[in-house]
């Protein structure tokens, strides 16, 4: 694996991220932790003004599709800045949430997470340092990645139907449900933001 991950900031491109939790631990199993992720996405919308196209939060990873441009600006926001800001938010607020859940319950929801909680601070990261970042420059690819993300909870056996998984943009697009997170994309191609 290369020592430095390359990210490409190309005007007009969207990015498809896959981000795994540290050692694939199920940090995002509890709904409170899923809310931390969604709040982190909302913060990206507010702080950078970028366009969130689709997402799904799974127990041990997440998928996110963003158009990293501020509204009306043709220049992309460096994806590394967006990525770093998001990870810091999840790290800080996720650990606070886990500490609160630990105090309330006396444990977390799995033995590996309990071991993580008892470990030294150097081991207490929530998300892997690297993630998968894929540039999207075609409408067919964008639609494939959205479909893949929305089907992920079904594929993993968490639900029978995509609209049963609350932590996904599927409900926004198919049921007009913005109760968890509002999406920014209007469905057009090329993306005009």
User: What is the domain partition of the chain in residue ranges?
Assistant: 14-175
Specify the pLDDT at position 2: 45
Q: Residue 169: which pLDDT band, with cuts at 50, 70 and 90?
A: very high
From CA 100, how far away is CA 126, in angstroms rounded?
Answer: 15
Structure tokens at 89: 């938010």
Q: Give pLDDT tens digits for 45-83.
A: 999 999 999 999 999 999 999 999 999 998 999 999 999
* Tens-digit pLDDT profile for residues 77-125: 999 999 999 999 999 999 999 999 999 999 999 999 999 988 866 667 9
Which among 111, 96, 91, 97 has a CA at the least distance from the CA of 22?
Answer: 91
Pick the CATH number of 14-175 from 3.30.70.1290, 3.40.640.10, 3.30.470.20, 3.30.230.10: 3.30.70.1290
> Which strands make up the sheet holding 51-57, listed edge to edge?
51-57, 61-67, 14-20, 132-136
Structural element, H or E, at residue 52: strand 51-57
pLDDT, residue 7, reads 75
Task: Supply φ then ψ for residue 173, to 5 degrees.
Answer: -75, -40
For residues 65 and 56, what is the distance between their CA atoms, to the nearest angstrom?
9
Task: Please tell me the predicted confidence (pLDDT) of residue 4.
Answer: 57
Average model confidence (pLDDT) across the chain = 93
pLDDT for residue 122: 60
Predicted confidence band of residue 1 (pLDDT cuts 50, 70, 90): very low
* Dihedral in degrees, nearest 10, Cα atoms 72, 82, 181, 171: 90
Percent of the chain as helix, strand, coil, to the nearest 5 = 45, 15, 40
Q: Is 22 helix (H, G, I), strand (E, B) or coil?
A: helix
pLDDT at 5 over 60: no
């Amino acid at each position: 694996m290369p020592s430095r991950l390359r990210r490409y900031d190309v005007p007009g491109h969207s990015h498809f991220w896959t981000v795994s939790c540290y050692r694939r631990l199920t940090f995002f199993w509890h709904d409170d932790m899923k809310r931390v992720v969604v709040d982190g996405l909302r913060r990206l919308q507010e702080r950078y003004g970028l366009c969130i196209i689709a997402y799904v939060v799974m127990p041990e990873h997440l998928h996110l599709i963003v158009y990293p441009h501020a509204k009306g600006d043709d220049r992309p926001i460096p994806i590394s800045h967006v990525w770093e800001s998001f990870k810091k938010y999840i790290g800080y607020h996720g650990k606070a949430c886990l500490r609160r859940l630990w105090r309330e319950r006396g444990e977390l929801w799995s033995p590996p997470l309990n071991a993580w909680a008892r470990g030294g601070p150097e081991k207490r990261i929530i998300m892997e340092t690297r993630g998968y970042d894929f540039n999207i420059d075609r409408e067919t690819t964008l639609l494939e990645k959205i479909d893949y993300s929305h089907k992920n909870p079904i594929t993993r056996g968490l639900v029978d139907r995509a609209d049963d998984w609350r932590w996904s943009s599927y409900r926004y697009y198919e049921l007009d449900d913005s109760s968890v997170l509002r999406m920014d994309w209007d469905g057009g191609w090329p993306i005009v933001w």
